[in-house]
């Protein structure tokens, strides 16, 4: 009776850990047919996946997974299933998997081809394995998750083998929770090792602490936390491991979500307020190997708001990358709202001028905080290689971007209702006129409050910033500020050499009433016209114009003092004239 009581306590334990010594003595409950073993998570692991068998290398044209028993006990797989979030297979028939042995799981049509390589079990409704990545899990006869992985074709770590014909193999079977760090393409000559020890089998100890990646609030009483790897649910479900700032405090309950257990839902005692950013802190949670969370243990969170026009703007565009580079598009949240990027879409126009190629910015909930940047690209690693990116967490890799032509094109932002948030129809001649080669140079927005379609509100990124500023403030950024007086120029000395320092002069104006029309001409010290900057430009009460320091021939004039002559008038016959000096060095 004492043994049975101990056994009951262990079965009811919520722990999902391999390393915390929660295993029981299986000899106490094991019979000769091995039907009563209390199987723990990771006793059996998915250690090899053939998701893309074509083109053939040396194995049959069949999808399959391999299971390996890494425990010290015989385990009967009767009633076990493999599955994906969309559904699971039929139950596995009675099959005793011995310690340190493997079995291949596949559909019935693949059994005969795979019998050449080892033990094979077919299941009905064997889940189709996506070539690019999938979440697959193994559950026992009572539905308990034994192992789950969320693989990606990046796990091959080999561009050739990624194309098909090669299996994915786990490196260290005693490290079953980590992803790409513990998986790679098979090194076997035939493309995989079904029924055998993995070709890349090695010791690959996980000594890295889990990290809190991000958080979001689906409503005012719940917060969902996402970690970079599965957690030990015994520690993950302890309410004292979590604290929310600004008086919210410790949650009332915590749930670890199957099958990966890398996502936690916490319920709050007090609701979150709107228009407020909170910080969630996590302590003492551990991954499935036993590594405790370290410094990456906080995330901001808050209630996100509906997206209106101009809440987000297109802030920087690299549409003509180097031959080895990639396009990118930077967005800036100019509002005071927390925005969910799952509700943002990018698109362009087709030949008929219709919105086309609509692409979701994020398939998952991802918060975009006020006054921050996010960069969209098809290859984050290439962007980091080619540009300084001080905030790599702001790089968001998409499967594909809408096409952006090298000479001109359209970029459109939409909200979840299809309403336009911002749009830019860019041209390559918006770049700095003295640039001989525009390849690999980003076009930056100068003023986030200025018009998106005003070519004077865009400029080439500076050479001192390697011609691009993804994830942070633009090198040519110059937000308009309030000033005293009617006309002002900043800076008063410019050097139009595209080095990111005083390349552009901003002429701000302020009138007591709207409706003025402006003509602006730049003269040299001898009174000769150098540049007609504006002609019959309609002004508001306040606004700005810009001069890039070039003359009418798009050439840089000699260094010296120049006069910016501004004449404004309205229909009531009021006329004002201003002369302001500016120096080109």
CA nearest 241: which of 284, 274, 279, 201? 284
Confidence of residue 114 (pLDDT cuts 50, 70, 90): very high
CA distance 314 to 448: 9
Segment among 21-25, 229-233, 440-444, 535-539 with least mean pLDDT: 21-25
Domain that holds residue 36: 31-185
* HSE (side-chain half, CA atoms, 13 Å) at 345: 15
Question: CA quadruple 231, 182, 295, 221: dihedral positive or negative?
Answer: negative
* 202 within a domain of the structure (yes/no): no
Shared domain for 143 and 243, answered yes or no, is: no
Taking CA 300 as the corner, what is the angle to CA 297 and CA 306, rounded to the nearest 5 degrees?
Answer: 150
CA distance 252 to 274: 20
374-399: average pLDDT:
96
Give the pLDDT score at 222: 98
Shared domain for 285 and 399, answered yes or no, is: no
CA distance 531 to 494: 15
401-409: average pLDDT:
94
Residue 470, pLDDT > 80, answer: yes
Contact 50, 105 (CB under 8 A): no
* 11 within a domain of the structure (yes/no): no
Residue 461, pLDDT > 60, answer: yes
* 203 within a domain of the structure (yes/no): no
* 480 within a domain of the structure (yes/no): no
Give the pLDDT score at 4: 35
Shared domain for 37 and 97, answered yes or no, is: yes
Q: Backbone dihedral region of 288: left (phi > 0), alpha (psi from -120 to 50 degrees) or beta?
A: alpha
Shared domain for 134 and 226, answered yes or no, is: no
538 compared with 481, residue with greater pLDDT: 538
CA distance 145 to 328: 40
Residue 80, pLDDT > 70, answer: yes
44-75 residues labelled b (16+ CB within 10 A) or e (exposed):
bbbbbbbbbbeeebebbebbbbbbbbbbebbb
Confidence of residue 555 (pLDDT cuts 50, 70, 90): very high
Give the pLDDT score at 372: 97
* 19 within a domain of the structure (yes/no): no
Give the pLDDT score at 171: 98
* 474 within a domain of the structure (yes/no): no
pLDDT in tens, 3-21: 333 333 333 333 444 443 3
Confidence of residue 72 (pLDDT cuts 50, 70, 90): very high
- When divided into structural domains, the chain yields a total of 4
Share of the chain above pLDDT 70, in %: 92
105-131: average pLDDT:
97
* 307 within a domain of the structure (yes/no): no
* HSE (side-chain half, CA atoms, 13 Å) at 431: 25
pLDDT in tens, 131-154: 999 999 999 999 999 999 999 999
Shared domain for 409 and 523, answered yes or no, is: no
Q: Backbone dihedral region of 361: left (phi > 0), alpha (psi from -120 to 50 degrees) or beta?
A: alpha
CA distance 69 to 39: 11
Contact 76, 35 (CB under 8 A): yes
DSSP per-residue string spanning 274-322:
TT--EEEEE-S-BBTT-PBP-S--EEEE-------TTSEEEEEEE-S--
Give the pLDDT score at 464: 78
Shared domain for 156 and 217, answered yes or no, is: no
**Joined tokens for residue 299:** 């995330």
Contact 413, 423 (CB under 8 A): yes
Confidence of residue 61 (pLDDT cuts 50, 70, 90): very high
459-484: average pLDDT:
78
Give the pLDDT score at 479: 57
Confidence of residue 495 (pLDDT cuts 50, 70, 90): very high
Point out the domain boundary residue: 185, 220, 243: 185
Give the pLDDT score at 577: 84
Residue whose entry in the numeric block shows the structure tokens 């509100």: 457
Shared domain for 174 and 40, answered yes or no, is: yes
User: Which CATH number covers residue 104?
Assistant: 2.60.40.1260
Shared domain for 331 and 294, answered yes or no, is: no
Segment among 16-30, 76-90, 196-210 with least mean pLDDT: 16-30
Residue 575, pLDDT > 90, answer: no
Point out the domain boundary residue: 253, 269, 301: 301
Residue whose entry in the numeric block shows the structure tokens 């991802």: 366
Shared domain for 60 and 111, answered yes or no, is: yes
Q: What is the CA radius of gyration of the chain?
A: 31
Torsion, CA 14, CA 17, CA 23, CA 26, rounded to 10: 90
Alpha carbon distances (Å) from 345 to 21, 328, 365: 47, 15, 13
Residue 229 pairs in a beta bridge with: none
Which phi and psi (to 5°) does residue 239 adopt?
A: -60, -25
CA distance 541 to 543: 7
303-311: average pLDDT:
96
Point out the domain boundary residue: 247, 275, 301: 301
Mean pLDDT of the chain: 90
194-202: average pLDDT:
98
Give the pLDDT score at 24: 29
Shared domain for 528 and 394, answered yes or no, is: no
Cis peptide before 259 (omega within 30 of 0): yes
* 373 within a domain of the structure (yes/no): yes
Segment among 21-30, 256-265, 345-354, 443-452 with least mean pLDDT: 21-30
Confidence of residue 515 (pLDDT cuts 50, 70, 90): confident
Give the pLDDT score at 5: 36
Residue 287 pairs in a beta bridge with: 231
Shared domain for 221 and 340, answered yes or no, is: no
User: Which CATH number covers residue 574?
Assistant: 2.60.40.4070
443-457: average pLDDT:
91
**Joined tokens for residue 217:** 């609030």
Give the pLDDT score at 21: 36
**Joined tokens for residue 311:** 């809440």
63-82: average pLDDT:
97
Going by DSSP bridges, is the β-strand pair 395-397/373-377 parallel, antiparallel, or unpaired? parallel
Shared domain for 78 and 127, answered yes or no, is: yes
CA distance 442 to 320: 8
Contact 155, 184 (CB under 8 A): yes
Chain centroid to Cα 420, Å, comes to: 22
274-296: average pLDDT:
96
Confidence of residue 478 (pLDDT cuts 50, 70, 90): low
Residue 35, pLDDT > 90, answer: no
């Amino acid at each position: 009776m004492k043994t049975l009581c101990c056994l009951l306590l262990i079965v009811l334990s919520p722990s999902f850990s391999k390393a915390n010594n929660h295993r029981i003595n299986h000899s106490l409950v094991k019979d000769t047919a091995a039907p009563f073993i209390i199987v723990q998570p990771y006793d059996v692991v998915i250690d090899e996946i053939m998701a893309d068998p074509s083109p053939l290398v040396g194995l049959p044209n069949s999808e399959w997974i391999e299971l390996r028993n890494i425990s010290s006990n015989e385990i009967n797989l009767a009633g076990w299933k493999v599955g994906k979030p969309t559904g699971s297979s039929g139950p596995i028939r009675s099959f005793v998997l011995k310690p340190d042995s493997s079995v291949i799981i596949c559909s019935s049509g693949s059994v005969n081809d795979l019998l050449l390589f080892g033990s094979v079990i077919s299941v009905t409704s064997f889940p189709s394995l996506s070539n690019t990545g999938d979440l697959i899990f193994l559950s026992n006869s009572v539905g308990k998750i034994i192992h789950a992985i969320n693989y990606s074709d990046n796990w091959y770590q080999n561009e050739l083998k990624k194309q098909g014909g090669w299996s994915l193999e786990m490196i260290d079977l005693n490290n079953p929770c980590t992803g790409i760090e513990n998986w790679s393409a098979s090194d076997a000559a035939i493309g995989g090792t079904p029924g055998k020890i993995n070709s890349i089998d090695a010791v690959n100890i996980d000594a890295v602490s889990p990290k809190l990646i991000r958080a979001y609030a689906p409503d005012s009483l719940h917060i969902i936390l996402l970690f970079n790897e599965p957690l030990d649910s015994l520690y993950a479900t302890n309410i004292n491991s979590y604290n929310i700032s600004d008086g919210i405090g410790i949650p009332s309950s915590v749930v670890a979500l199957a099958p990966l257990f890398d996502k936690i839902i916490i319920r709050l005692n007090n609701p979150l307020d709107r228009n407020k950013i909170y910080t969630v802190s996590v302590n003492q949670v551990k991954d499935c190997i036993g590594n405790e969370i370290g410094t990456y243990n906080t995330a901001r969170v808050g209630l996100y708001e509906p997206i209106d026009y101009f809440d987000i703007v297109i802030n920087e565009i690299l549409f003509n990358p180097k031959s080895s580079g990639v396009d990118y598009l930077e967005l800036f949240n100019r509002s005071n709202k927390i925005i969910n990027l799952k509700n943002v879409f990018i698109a362009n126009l087709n030949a008929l001028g219709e919105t086309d190629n609509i692409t979701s910015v994020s398939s998952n909930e991802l918060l975009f905080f006020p006054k921050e940047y996010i960069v969209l690209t098809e290859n984050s690693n290439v962007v980091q290689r080619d540009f300084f990116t001080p905030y790599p967490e702001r790089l968001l890799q998409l499967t594909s971007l809408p096409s952006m032509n090298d000479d001109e094109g359209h970029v459109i932002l939409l909200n979840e209702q299809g309403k336009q948030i911002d749009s830019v129809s860019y041209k390559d001649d918006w770049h700095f006129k003295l640039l001989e080669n525009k390849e690999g140079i980003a076009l930056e927005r100068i003023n986030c409050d200025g018009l998106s379609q005003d070519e004077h509100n865009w400029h080439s990124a500076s050479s001192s910033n390697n011609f691009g500023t993804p994830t942070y403030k633009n090198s040519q950024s110059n937000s308009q500020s309030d000033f005293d007086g009617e006309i002002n120029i900043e800076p008063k000395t410019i050097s139009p050499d595209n080095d990111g320092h005083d390349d552009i002069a901003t002429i701000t104006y302020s009138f007591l009433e709207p409706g003025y029309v402006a003509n602006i001409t730049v003269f040299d010290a001898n009174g000769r016209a150098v540049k007609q900057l504006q002609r019959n430009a309609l002004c508001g009460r306040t606004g700005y114009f810009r001069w890039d320091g070039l003359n009418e021939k798009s050439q840089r004039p000699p260094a010296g003092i120049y006069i910016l002559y501004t004449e404004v008038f309205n229909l009531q016959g009021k006329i004002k004239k201003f002369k302001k000096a500016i120096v080109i060095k």
